[in-house]
Homo-oligomer: A and B are copies of this chain.
Amino acid sequence: MSFDAAQALVAADLAAVELAMLRKMGGHYGPLADTLTGLIRSGGKRVRPTLALLAGRLHPPPQPHPLISLAAAVEALHTATLVHDDVIDGALLRRGQSTLNARWTPSSTIMAGDFFFARAAALAAETEHPRVIQLFAETLNVIVDGELRQAFTARDWGQPKQSYYDRIYGKTAALFEVATRAPALLANAPAAAEEALRAYGYHLGMAFQIVDDLLDFVADASTLGKPAGSDLQSGIITLPVYYYIQDPDRRDQLVALVDGQRHGEDVVAEVVRMIRASDAIAQTKAEALRFAEAAIASLASYADAAPRQALTAIARYVVEREF
């Protein structure tokens, strides 16, 4: 099953999620509503709400509305963090389009991000499910903690692998985890089901971010929609870099280049070439595959029917995106 076929299973619900995100936009200040609406409409593949809706097929909730609100809350929170990330990273390109940050002032972008945080909070509250709301609030906390860790561990070349795991858990896996776990809560599913779906979301999210970090080195700038090696340029140590610098000679050489007198794109391009030609790429790929397999294995107790097949297909898609 392709990603598109998996998503097609929940196409109607996904349209409802889109409407839930756009709802109440009319109440907002006119000149801005258009920009915020445009930002929602230009969204990516809607991976996270698709996961929530498919998890909801495994455990249908008593009413459909809370699941739609939850899926929309997840995507709104994702949008909020993307918008703030763009300010934080100073990124000018995302998905090949100029970011809000490149067109707006930083302060407008902060406010737009805050707007999506507010939407996410309101949508989560609409589920009226205390545990889901608490889980959602805790996830926001983990996400922010991940951002803070990323900023404060930049250029720390000796950090352990766990530091990378902690960061990508906050950056990506925590939201995947809540997307697939919360539907089980909404449906009052047994604890074992909640844990299985949590484990699926967690492992898939880890695989997803590892692949993203890999693509930052192996994809070309046009596929990537941003310059290759951009994380490293910000001093962020992702898994390919971690594996590369386990060899002390390579580490010394890389640190000398990145922290040295020469700056800018030519240094980064050189480092990207070095890492791309090394075994760090294969090691990173293998790790992403292990996480994806663990995600798929988490679903073992479910019947081999359309929802499980779709979640399995998405896990495969995530790690096969480019290789």
Contact = CB atoms under 8 A, between A and B. Distances in A.
Contact of A144 (B106, B118, B147): B118
Contacts of A115: 141, 144-145, 148
Interface string A83-126: 01001111000000000000000111011011101110110111
B114 A87 contact: no
A302 to B, nearest CB: 30
A134 interface: yes
A136 B136 CA distance: 15
Contacts of A321: none
A152 interface: yes
A134 B125 contact: yes
A188 B241 CA distance: 56
A133 B148 CA distance: 26
Nearest to A128: B130
Copies of this chain, whole number: 2
A117 B88 contact: no
Contacts of A138: 122
A140 interface: yes
A140 B126 contact: no
Nearest to A105: B151
A130 B111 CA distance: 26
A110 B111 contact: no
Contact of A114 (B89, B107, B111, B117): B117
Secondary structure of the A contact surface, majority rule: helix
Interface residues of A, number: 44
Interface stretch (A27-35, A48-56, A223-231, A258-266): A27-35
B133 A119 contact: no
Contacts of A108: 151
A130 B31 CA distance: 32
A148 B32 contact: yes
A193 B300 CA distance: 54
Given A125-B133, A152-B32, A144 B88 contact: no
Interface of A: 24, 27-29, 31-32, 84, 87-90, 106-108, 110-111, 113-115, 117-119, 121-122, 124-126, 128, 130, 133-134, 136-138, 140-141, 143-145, 147-149, 151-152
Given A115-B145, A117-B117, 10 more contacts: A29-B145, A32-B148, A84-B114, A88-B110, A111-B144, A111-B151, A114-B117, A114-B144, A118-B140, A122-B140
21 contacts: A27-B145, A28-B148, A29-B148, A29-B152, A31-B152, A32-B152, A88-B110, A106-B106, A111-B147, A111-B148, A111-B151, A115-B141, A117-B117, A117-B140, A117-B144, A118-B137, A121-B136, A122-B137, A125-B130, A125-B134, A133-B133
